[in-house]
């Protein structure tokens, strides 16, 4: 649903959806995906600092889980 909102340019609605999903996310995998999508939303909105923060959160979780998978 969020990706569709992004594709049709409904960035504010996509952001609201992803923020709500983030509140209820219970796994690192879920959070990783949501932060990545929030980064895309913010980039599309021209809010590059916010995009970078979300993408940094995504990357931190990704690297943590990558390390755990290869231990």
Cα–Cα distance list, 55 to 20, 42, 70 (Å):
17, 10, 22
Domain limits, the chain: 2-69
Distance CA 66, CA 58 (A): 12
Is the per-residue pLDDT at 32 higher than 80? Answer: yes
Is the per-residue pLDDT at 71 higher than 80? Answer: no
Domain spanning 2-69 has what CATH number?
1.25.40
Residue 6 pLDDT: 82
- What is the tens place of the pLDDT at every residue in 35-68? 999 999 999 999 999 999 999 999 999 999 887 6
Residue 2 pLDDT: 82
Residue 14 pLDDT: 94
Residue 44 pLDDT: 94
């Amino acid at each position: 649903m969020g990706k569709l909102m992004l594709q049709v340019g409904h960035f504010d609605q996509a952001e609201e959806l992803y923020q709500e999903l983030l509140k209820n996310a219970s796994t690192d995998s879920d959070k990783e995906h949501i932060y990545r999508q929030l980064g895309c939303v913010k980039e599309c909105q021209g809010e590059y600092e916010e995009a970078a923060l979300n993408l940094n959160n995504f990357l931190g979780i990704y690297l943590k889980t990558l390390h755990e998978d290869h231990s």
